[in-house]
Amino acid sequence: MTAQRDVHHFINGKAAPGTSGRFGDIYDPNTGEVQAKVSLASKSEMDQAIEIAKNAQVAWAQVNPQRRARVMFKFKQLLEENMDELARLLSIEHGKVVADAKGDIQRGMEVIEFACGIPHLLKGEFTEGAGPGIDVYSMRQPLGVVAAITPFNFPAMIPMWMFGVALACGNAVILKPSEKDPSVPVRLAELMLEAGLPEGVLNVVHGDKEAVDAILDNDDIKAVSFVGSSDIAHYVYSRGTANAKRVQAMGGAKNHGVIMPDADMDQVVKDLVGSAYGSAGERCMALPVAVPVGEGTAERLIEKLLPEIENLVPGHSHDPDAIYGPVVSQAHKEKVESYIQMGVDEGATLIKDGRGLKLQGLENGYFIGPSLFDNVTADMQSYREEIFGPVLQIVRANELEEAAALASNHQYGNGVAIFTRNGLAAREFASKVNVGMVGVNVPIPVPVAYHTFGGWKRSAFGDSNQHGFEGVRFFTKIKTVTSRWPSGEVADQAFIIPTMQ
């Protein structure tokens, strides 16, 4: 039996036990046992945390950018020193294997590295002599208190995507992580405090819809960054913008991998296995749809793919030999398995069925074996919707235009990939496909930290992407100053709005 513990809020630089009387269960996905309880905040608790952040932000905004950058440098160092601890804590709550957990932390740390350059990123523009004795310049200033609402599938990376840039820009942050795996976000806040961040500038408040609504309705929250399902993303965007907040809300995905006849099929299979089944498919940039172009391409793909899938055995998230671990919850396991049955009922060919998997000693764990469908069509509900599990669907196409149309016409537009040796085909595809992020022989085209992450259509609501300079723009506001230092004859001239006279 796993020893239970309590996960508290982290407010004003210290653990803050909840006062709402409400708690959520944190499960070990490997065993199905409850391993901890997490406090769920009331509206009043959230409002109190926001007030603390508001007061702390005033002094933090006055800290010069170089010193804020030094906090980021120190935080990065602490992440590296505590990588093993963080990865094991993450994996035991989420279920992803330790190697994937370290990747989760590493990709978040890359945004922290980007934020270390904040003095350069906050530079404004300057025009000398815009008029007689007149200079015009702009400056980027923090918004105040901002909120980060993050999902269960990347409990380290996505919080760092958000709070790294927001804090470096001089804001205070309310982080509302997923209540399914909240311990790593709290640990990140503790390390940020150790790195030199003042108390109250980064607060972690756990909760459910009540906490989210308290964020969206509080006038002191100036911006909200969200990642989650599309329906909730739309809700957050609509309610947040209705309350005059900046909102970037990233939603679901159904990413396609287009496989041309000239592709290196051995490499394609390796890429597909990793991107479709890695982390149990619980990634918005997973590649759950393979689109081989031409019947011969499809047959070669399946022939090479099946032996690789047969060797894919999930295991305990701390097992170094496991390719992937369990999904996050019993409810999610049932949802994924219902989609597998839906595909069967809709007439797709189930080549490999991952349902009913039981691991010795972990019979109550939330494990799903790798599943593979062929002959999936665009009118099937199981294709139109996001499954978010270790399920790969093959949708055959006769030509590149047909394959591109599948990705372009889908309700989601997060990522897409093309596998080919033909540079012209890849260039045309990347230019014309109606999707926000494109990979060319790259199965999971998540941009590096100094570029930006963001999808199109129902994969994103709002006009701003995550991290990169888009993140700096999102978490700052522009102030433009027109200054006049006249002398001589210029001093006697009135400064008025120009006219046609």
Please say whether the beta carbons of 199 and 13 come within 8 A: yes
Contacts of 126 (CB under 8 A, 6+ apart): 135, 136, 137, 138
Q: Which of 69, 147, 268, 284 is catalytic?
A: 284
Which phi and psi (to 5°) does residue 29 adopt?
Answer: -65, -20
Residue 451 CB neighbours (<10 A): 14
- Exposure letters 8-21 (e unless 16+ CB within 10 A, then b): bbbbbbeebebebe
Helices 98-115 and 65-81, packing angle to 10 deg: 160
Report how far residue 382's alpha carbon sits from residue 373's, in angstroms, rounded to the nearest whole number: 11
CB 103 within 8 A of CB 324: no
Residue 120, CB half-sphere, CA atoms under 13 Å: how many? Answer: 7
Length of the chain: 501
CA atoms within 13 A on the CB side of 171: 35
Provide the strand spans (E) within 21-76: 23-28, 33-39
Do residues 22 and 160 lie in contact, with contact meaning Cβ atoms separated by under 8 Å? no
HEC-encoded secondary structure of 438-466: EEECCCCCCCCCCCCECCEECCEECCCCE
Alpha-carbon span 338 to 388, nearest angstrom: 12
Sign of the CA dihedral with 53 first, then 59, 65, and 67 last: negative
Name the helix (H) or strand (E) containing 101: helix 98-115
Tokens 């490997």 belong to 30
What is the DSSP track for 380-393?
Answer: -HHHHS---SSEEE
β pairing state of 33-39 and 5-7: parallel
CA dist 138 to 122, 126, 135, 203, Å? 10, 7, 10, 30
- Say whether 284 is catalytic: yes
Among candidate residues 368, 259, 258, 372, the one with its CA nearest the CA of residue 323:
368
The catalytic residue positions are 284
